[in-house]
C-alpha cells in the first residue's frame, strides 16, 4: 500500500504541475483576480478520482497510461482541434513534415463510433496497390481488434520498417446498399514519399488542373514546378483543386498564395487571447513576400468542398477576397483556428497540440465553425464524391468518373478568355461568401463531425 500511495502522490503532483504548465503561469493571475479563485481547489476532483483508482481499481493501474488518459481528456475538453500528442504521434508528425515515412501509405481517422477508418490511400503506395479504399473500416491490425484503439495506437501498429508486413482486416460497406465485404490483406511496408501535388495535367483546351492534398514545407515549390510544366504544355487557365485538403502548415499556405497574389498583399492574420488589452504572442500578420508566378489576369478557379479545411481555407479565403480566383463547389469545413505544437518534458518526447489563436481572412472575418461559401455552388452526392476520391488517390483507376464540380470549373473558364469578365460575372462580394459563425445557426453537418484529426501510415 505504501507503494500505491507513493505512486498516487507522485501522480497528483505531476497533474498539478501539468495544470500550471498548461496555464502558462495563469494560476497566479487567477489567484490575484476578483473572487480569489483557488486553482488547487478546482483540480481537487482529479486527486479524488486518482486516489479512488489507486485504492480500488481491480488491477494495479499503469500510471503512465492513467497520466496519458488524463492529458488526453484535458485537451479534448478545450475544443475539437486541441489534443495531446504522444511520442509516437509526434514522431509521425515530424516524418510527415519531412516528406517521407515508412509504412503502407494510408491516412486514418477515428470516427464517432471509435472505429479506425481509412481517410485515403496515397497514390502508388503499398496500400493503394492492395486496393485499400477511402472509407474502409480497419477491423483488426495484426490480429488485434482495432475498435476502440486510439489513433496513436493504430498508427503505431500499422507503421513499421520498410520490408516488414502488416496484416489488416477491413470492413468495406457498399456504396449502394447490399452486403458489406470483409477483406484480409497482408501489406508489405515501404518508404512513402509525401507529396502535396498529387495530380497535374491539362484537362481541356489549355486548362490546367492541379490537385493539392495538403500544405507542408515544400508544397509551394511543388505547385510552382507543376505550373511551369503545364505552361510548357500550353496552359492558359488553371483549376486549383483543394477538395479533401485538411490543411497543414500556416507558413505553407502563405507561400502558396504568393504564387498568385501581388507582393505585399495581406493573406491572413491571427489573434490569440492576450491579456489586459495587450496583444498575444500568437498575433501575426502574414503578407506575400515574393512576386507572383502567374500574372494577375491569369484565369484561376479553385475547387472546394466540406473537407477543405484550415490552411486550404486560408488560401481559398485570400484568393477569393482579392478577386484573384473564382471559387466553385460546396461550403468549406470551417477551421478558423491555429494550433501550436508545444513540446513537453513529461511524458518524454510528447507534446500538446494547443489552439492558440484564430485566423482571419483579409476581410476581418474568422470562418471558424462556418466555412467559406463558394462563388458558384455545385453539389455532389456521396457516390460521386467517392468516385472522384478513388481517381485522385489511386493511380490504377481507369474508370471514367463524373466530376460535376470540375466540369463546371472548366465550363466557366471556357466562357471567356478575359478573366476580368469572368470575375464580374461570377465573383460574389466577400460579405456574402465569408461570414462569421452565428451561435443559433445550424453548424455541424454529419460530414463536419466526421472530419477529425488524421494520421498517415
Query: DSSP secondary-structure letter at 131?
Result: T
Q: Which CATH class is domain 197-448?
A: alpha beta
- The residue whose grid cell reads 518534458 is 345
pLDDT at 23: 42
Q: Tell me 279's DSSP state.
A: P
Helix (H) or strand (E) holding 304: strand 300-304
pLDDT of 158 strictly over 60:
yes
Q: How confident is the model at residue 334 (pLDDT cuts 50, 70, 90)?
A: very high
CB neighbour list of residue 255: distance below 8 Å, 6 or more residues apart: 219, 220, 290
Residue 64, H or E segment: helix 63-76
In this predicted structure, the answer to whether residue 4 has a pLDDT above a threshold of 60 is no
Fold (topology level) of 100-192? Pdz3 Domain (2.30.42)
CATH 3.90.226.10 domain range(s) in the chain: 197-448
* Residues 196 and 222 sit within 8 Å (Cβ to Cβ): yes
Q: What is the pLDDT of residue 280?
A: 61
User: Picking from 260-269, 299-308, 393-402, 413-422, which range would have the lowest pLDDT averaged per residue?
Assistant: 393-402
Mean pLDDT of 213-226: 93
- Any idea which of 18-22, 205-209, 334-338 has the lowest mean pLDDT? 18-22
Residue 64 has pLDDT above 90, yes or no: no
- DSSP, residue by residue, 69-117: HHHHHHHHTT-SS-EEE-HHHHHHHHHHHHTEEEE--EEEEE-TTS-EE
Sign of the alpha-carbon torsion through 381, 387, 390, 392:
negative
Q: What is the largest CA-CA distance in the chain?
A: 81
User: Cα–Cα distance between 436 and 10 in angstroms, integer?
Assistant: 45
Name the band, by pLDDT with cuts 50, 70 and 90, for residue 89.
confident
**What is d(CA 133, CA 447) in angstroms, rounded to the nearest whole number?**
18
97-106, 167-176, 201-210, 445-454, range with greatest mean pLDDT: 201-210
Has residue 19 got a pLDDT over 70?
no
Instruction: Give pLDDT, residue 15.
Output: 52
Summarize pLDDT for 428-453 with one digit per residue, the tens: 999 999 999 886 554 444 444 344 44
Question: Where residue 197 falls among pLDDT bands split at 50, 70, 90?
Answer: very high
Give 348: exposed, middle or buried? Use CB within 10 Å, 0-12, 13-18, 19+.
Answer: exposed
Chain mean pLDDT for the chain: 84
Decide if pLDDT at 123 tops 80.
Answer: no
The pLDDT assigned to 455 comes to 52
- CA proximity to 333, closest of 366, 364, 304: 304
Instruction: Please give the C-alpha separations between residue 388 and each of 221, 243, 376, 392, 400, in angstroms, as whole numbers.
Output: 25, 10, 19, 6, 9
Please tell me the predicted confidence (pLDDT) of residue 456.
53
Q: What percent of the chain has pLDDT over 90?
A: 52
Grid coordinates in use for 21?
Answer: 504548465
Residue ranges of the chain assigned to CATH 2.30.42.10:
100-192
pLDDT at 450: 41
Amino acid at each position: 500500500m505504501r507503494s500505491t500511495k507513493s505512486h498516487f502522490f507522485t501522480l497528483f503532483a505531476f497533474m498539478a504541475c501539468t495544470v500550471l504548465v498548461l496555464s502558462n503561469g495563469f494560476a497566479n493571475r487567477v489567484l490575484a483576480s476578483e473572487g480569489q479563485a483557488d486553482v488547487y481547489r478546482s483540480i481537487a476532483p482529479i486527486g479524488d478520482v486518482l486516489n479512488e483508482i489507486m485504492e480500488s481499481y481491480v488491477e494495479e493501474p499503469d500510471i503512465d497510461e492513467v497520466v496519458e488518459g488524463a492529458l488526453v481528456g484535458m485537451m479534448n475538453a478545450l475544443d475539437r482541434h486541441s489534443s495531446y500528442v504522444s511520442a509516437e504521434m509526434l514522431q509521425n508528425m515530424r516524418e510527415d513534415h519531412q516528406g517521407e515515412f515508412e509504412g503502407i501509405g494510408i491516412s486514418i481517422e477515428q470516427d464517432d463510433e471509435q472505429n479506425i477508418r481509412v481517410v485515403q490511400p496515397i497514390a502508388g503506395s503499398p496500400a493503394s496497390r492492395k486496393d485499400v479504399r477511402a472509407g474502409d473500416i480497419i477491423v483488426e491490425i495484426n490480429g488485434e481488434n482495432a475498435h476502440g484503439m486510439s489513433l496513436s495506437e493504430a498508427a503505431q501498429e500499422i507503421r513499421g520498417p520498410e520490408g516488414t508486413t502488416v496484416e489488416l482486416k477491413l470492413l468495406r460497406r457498399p456504396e449502394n446498399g447490399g452486403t458489406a465485404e470483409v477483406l484480409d490483406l497482408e501489406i508489405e511496408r515501404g518508404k512513402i514519399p509525401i507529396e502535396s501535388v498529387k495530380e497535374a495535367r491539362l484537362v481541356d483546351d489549355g486548362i490546367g488542373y492541379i490537385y493539392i492534398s495538403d500544405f507542408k514545407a515544400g508544397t509551394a515549390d511543388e505547385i510552382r514546378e507543376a505550373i511551369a510544366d503545364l505552361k510548357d504544355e500550353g496552359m492558359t487557365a488553371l483549376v486549383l483543386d483543394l477538395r479533401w485538403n485538411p490543411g497543414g502548415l500556416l507558413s505553407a499556405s502563405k507561400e502558396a498564395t504568393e504564387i498568385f497574389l501581388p507582393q505585399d498583399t495581406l493573406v491572413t492574420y491571427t489573434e490569440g487571447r492576450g491579456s489586459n488589452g495587450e496583444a498575444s504572442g500568437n498575433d501575426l500578420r502574414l503578407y506575400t513576400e515574393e512576386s507572383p508566378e502567374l500574372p494577375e489576369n491569369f484565369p484561376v478557379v479553385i475547387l472546394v468542398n466540406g473537407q477543405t479545411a484550415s490552411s486550404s481555407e486560408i488560401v481559398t479565403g485570400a484568393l477569393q477576397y482579392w478577386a484573384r480566383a473564382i471559387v466553385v463547389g460546396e461550403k468549406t469545413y470551417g477551421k478558423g483556428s491555429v494550433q501550436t505544437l508545444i513540446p513537453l518534458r513529461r511524458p518524454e518526447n510528447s507534446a500538446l497540440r494547443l489552439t492558440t489563436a484564430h485566423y482571419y481572412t483579409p476581410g476581418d472575418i474568422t470562418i471558424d465553425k462556418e466555412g467559406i461559401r463558394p462563388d458558384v455552388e455545385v453539389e455532389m452526392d456521396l457516390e460521386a464524391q467517392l468516385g472522384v476520391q478513388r481517381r485522385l488517390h489511386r493511380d490504377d483507376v481507369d474508370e471514367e468518373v463524373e466530376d460535376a464540380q470540375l466540369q463546371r470549373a472548366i465550363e466557366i473558364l471556357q466562357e471567356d478568355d478575359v478573366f476580368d469578365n469572368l470575375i464580374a460575372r461570377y465573383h460574389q462580394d466577400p460579405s456574402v461568401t465569408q461570414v462569421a459563425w452565428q451561435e443559433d445557426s445550424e453548424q455541424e453537418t454529419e460530414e463536419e463531425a466526421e472530419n477529425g484529426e488524421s494520421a498517415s501510415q
